[in-house]
Structure 1
Amino acid sequence: MGDLVQMTGMSANNESFPQRVRAIGERESIAMMALVMALQALAIDAMLPALGNIASDLAVTDPNERQLVVGSFMLASGFASLVPGSLADRYGRRPILLGCIAIYIVFSLACAVATSFDMLLTMRVLQALGCGGLAVLPSAIIRDRFSGDQMAKQMSIIAVVFLVVPMLAPSIGQVVLLFAGWRWIFVMLAVVGCAMATWVAIRLPETLDPAHRQPIHASSIVINMVSAAMNRQSIGYVIGGAVTFGALIGYVNSSQQLVAEHFGAGTLFPLLFGLSAMMMAVANFSNSRIVERFGARRVSHTAVIVFIFVGATQVWFASRPDETLWQFMPLMITNMILIGFIGANFNSISLQPFARTAGTASSMQAFVRMVLGSLVGIAIGQAYDGSAYPLALALLATGIIALLAVLFSEKGKLFRRVHPPGTPRPIVIEH
């Protein structure tokens, strides 16, 4: 006999959740959750090299309008994230996740046959509305099993794997363009979605404790959502994470114009974008190693303060008329590294107060992060004026806002080490 799996992480003798099933190991679970989340990242970043082709093929005249292929998807994903968490709190994580992936596949194919730019944007919005759970449910599944700094560690490890996709996605899109048109990028998304659906269907067990299932009543959902939104310990981290995420999205939205065209990187753009994502992955890997020693708050608070100083440096360089690519990229990569230390820690801290309603809380928080982050990102992208100055100013401003939001949640005290009650609840495996 091998180890015994217990889906809730409760003791094997606990009769409230007696079901034990054959389940995946921790490494496979981390890889699966990361790649589920990465489906959305692939749908965003694989598009970047093709934006010019899409604009040309579908007669888009405003050069900034092409960014809406990315921005509309992210904004719709934010609104979509409100629904899956509550459904997953009632029916379980697994069936809702599979439904979201199925919608991702269908509307990826619909995007591939779009005949106008308006139709493409509509299909992108529907694709995002259907697959909103891809960002929500992995966090809820991890929260089912872990809490506190241990959860932050798991989220950081997931982020390492997840960030491999943004690292590779622009290059994947570029390769597709070498052999076929931009429509085949969407076909590729559908194929990857089918592979993920098969993996999840065969290997993912249910992690929701039946004792934690929540009724589907509008009043209870609203109460849980309001409770999550009004929790002072949590909301500052949600807002802080949203605005720094928005700064990152602003860079993604304008990166092809800024790096490839303004700074003249040309075909080096996918490689530079991949390098940035790789450094974020390194940051998340480092975070997974140090967070249990120093605590999620200490690590992330330090990262926010440094983020502000780097943003100020970005503003100084961007205000000069002779800024070069090799001045811009190291600072931008540093900002992305710091976001790597901020994101997973803010996410785990913000979910810590919620155990019984982790799905609903994750939905509400993902909604705020995605909608607020997307609006910030779209605004930054649309402010692009042929220079790095709007982005640099946004990086500085979002860092300051994030710090103020954290100070609100922490009642003015930074760098505290909080030890939550309870211990991590790992899934054990039965062979």
Structure 2
Amino acid sequence: MNSSGAGLPGITYLAIMALLTSIGALATDIMLPALGMIGRDLGVGNINHSTLVVTAFFLGMAIGQLLVGPLADAYGRKPVVIWGYALFILGCVLSMFADSWPLMVAARVFQGIAASAPRVIAVAIVRDEYKGRSMARIMSIIMAVFILAPILAPLLGQGLIYIGGWRATFAGLVLIAVPSVMWFHWAIAETLPREHRRAFRPRIIADGIRQVCSSRMSVVCLVVMGLIGGPFIGYLGTARQIYQDIYGVGDMFVIYFSVGSVFAGAGSLLNARLVLRLGMRWLAGAAIAALTVMSAALWGWMLLDGAVAFWLFMVWQVSFIFCIGMIFGNLQSLAMEPLGHVAGLAAAIFGAGSTFISLPLSWMVSGYFGDTVAPLLIGFAVSGALSLGLMLAAGRR
């Protein structure tokens, strides 16, 4: 266990953990350019409903995490990750050949359930070997590598669409998943010894849940991750419409979206440099405060001026994504710090719980989307203010 922050793991470890962590981002961002086409081809009446391709995946991830966390604590990290990848590949194939909208949504839920395994267990693997500020530093570096996914995935998706239509995006995910799971199997050792495993029994799981919920700061971090994640998922679902329908940038959408993603990596790298000195709670709180003020200010500007110019939206976008790069890694590490003995279950509860909070908020942002970015700004301003209040209240106790 490394808690001092004296050393960093090797490049191979960081790259593989980033791959595991990025599976969800890849599976959503790669098809952002195709959402409209998928909706039209499968007979979706309201184009806003095509964002269900994104939210169904996140719903599946939320459900799956509640299962894979206890399984990883009972049977080890590696077997559950490998099975998760295998089922994820099956989900990609089902999505690729979906010929109706209900089948597509169901396949995406299944795909999300499977993708929850590598996503959650990557956090548990890091927690098995690091804790506290040291874990936050490692997670920040992993997130900086991970951010290549939302940078490259829309570009890759656009290229695949030109080659083979929207169904080719799922084939691309298969081609990424197969070498990823093989590399993980060969390069990463099991991090949970047999003597530290917890039986997969209802009583044992219930005891672990009680321990997770007994940590006030961990619960606050879960809620805050959900509050901030809601409008962020809403942003992912409506990004194509914002860029193409409101600002008319056409196929340049993927470029502008990727530019924003670069700033999340910058935020993560800055966090890795500062976290050992300033701490997780301070950095997360400062980033949430900045995100809240920026969103409220732009919302106020919109009320006065009636519109948000494209350059002003881009300034806000790169700024809020920079803050996102400093928020989630710190919150995850802060939440996991006292729970190393139930790391798999804890990571699952945080992932699932925050997603269940995020999804209704994201549906509100997506559902009210029209010809304005106001729902997005309101979502971040209100969620950010609530999050900041919770963080401040928890810090006083």
TM-score, length basis structure 1: 0.88
1:382 aligns with 2:367: yes
Give 3-state SS (helix, strand or coil) of 1:340's partner. helix
Return the offset for 1:229.
2.5
The partner residue of 1:339 within 297, 308, 324 is 324
How many equivalent residue pairs? 392
Return the offset for 1:32.
0.1
Give 3-state SS (helix, strand or coil) of 1:60's partner. coil
Return the offset for 1:279.
0.4
1:126 aligns with 2:110: yes
Tell me what 1:286 maps to.
270
Tell me what 1:39 maps to.
23
Tell me what 1:86 maps to.
70
1:66 aligns with 2:55: no
Return the offset for 1:226.
2.8
The partner residue of 2:166 within 141, 164, 182 is 182
Question: Structure 2: how far apart are the matches of 1:204 and 1:158?
Answer: 15
Question: Structure 1: how far apart are the matches of 2:279 and 2:33?
Answer: 39
| One-letter code aligned to 1:142 | V
Give 3-state SS (helix, strand or coil) of 1:214's partner. coil
Give 3-state SS (helix, strand or coil) of 1:386's partner. coil
Question: Structure 2: how far apart are the matches of 1:49 and 1:381?
Answer: 16
Change (3 A) 1:145 1:77: same
Contact 1:253 1:378 in 2 (8 A): no
* CA offset digits 1:365-395 (Å, max 9, x no partner): 1111222122221221111021011111111
Return the offset for 1:326.
1.0
* CA offset digits 1:54-98 (Å, max 9, x no partner): 112112120111000001111221121111111111111011011
Question: Structure 2: how far apart are the matches of 1:352 and 1:9?
Answer: 12
* CA offset digits 1:192-235 (Å, max 9, x no partner): 11111111121111011333211111011012113212320211
Question: Structure 1: how far apart are the matches of 2:214 and 2:76?
Answer: 25
Give 3-state SS (helix, strand or coil) of 1:253's partner. helix
* CA offset digits 1:11-37 (Å, max 9, x no partner): xxxxxxxxxxxxxx6221111011111
Contact 1:243 1:372 in 2 (8 A): yes
1:196 aligns with 2:180: yes
1:318 aligns with 2:313: no
Query: What pairs up with 1:110-259 in 2 under 5 angstroms?
Result: 110-259=94-243
Give 3-state SS (helix, strand or coil) of 2:66's partner. coil
Contact 1:236 1:409 in 2 (8 A): yes
Give 3-state SS (helix, strand or coil) of 2:340's partner. coil
Return the offset for 1:302.
1.3
Q: Please identify, of 394-403 and 230-239, the stretch whose mean Cα deviation from structure 2 is larger.
A: 230-239
Contact 1:89 1:359 in 2 (8 A): yes
Question: Structure 1: how far apart are the matches of 2:273 and 2:250?
Answer: 36
Return the offset for 1:410.
1.9
Question: Structure 2: how far apart are the matches of 1:122 and 1:50?
Answer: 18
1:365 aligns with 2:350: yes
Return the offset for 1:9.
6.9
Tell me what 1:352 maps to.
337
Q: Which runs of 5+ in 1 are unaligned?
A: 1-7, 11-24, 413-431
Tell me what 2:6 maps to.
none
Return the offset for 1:258.
1.2
* CA offset digits 1:325-349 (Å, max 9, x no partner): 1111111221111111111001100
Question: Structure 2: how far apart are the matches of 1:112 and 1:73?
Answer: 14
1:274 aligns with 2:292: no
Return the offset for 1:116.
0.7
Question: Structure 1: how far apart are the matches of 2:359 and 2:265?
Answer: 22
Give 3-state SS (helix, strand or coil) of 2:234's partner. helix
| One-letter code aligned to 2:389 | L
Tell me what 1:402 maps to.
387
Give 3-state SS (helix, strand or coil) of 1:222's partner. helix
| One-letter code aligned to 1:44 | T
Question: Structure 2: how far apart are the matches of 1:179 and 1:210?
Answer: 47
Question: Structure 2: how far apart are the matches of 1:68 and 1:234?
Answer: 30
Query: What pairs up with 1:414-425 in 2 under 5 angstroms?
Result: none
Contact 1:157 1:284 in 2 (8 A): yes
Question: Structure 2: how far apart are the matches of 1:407 and 1:112?
Answer: 46
Question: Structure 2: how far apart are the matches of 1:256 and 1:110?
Answer: 24
| One-letter code aligned to 2:307 | D
Q: Please identify, of 230-239 and 29-38, the stretch whose mean Cα deviation from structure 2 is larger.
A: 230-239
Question: Structure 2: how far apart are the matches of 1:32 and 1:318?
Answer: 43
| One-letter code aligned to 2:180 | M
The partner residue of 2:61 within 77, 81, 85 is 77
Query: What pairs up with 1:298-309 in 2 under 5 angstroms?
Result: 298-309=282-293
Runs (4+) of structure 1 moved beyond 4 Å?
none
| One-letter code aligned to 1:405 | L
The partner residue of 1:51 within 19, 23, 35 is 35
Q: Which runs of 5+ in 2 are unaligned?
A: 4-8
Return the offset for 1:146.
0.5
Return the offset for 1:265.
1.8
CA RMSD after TM alignment? 1.6
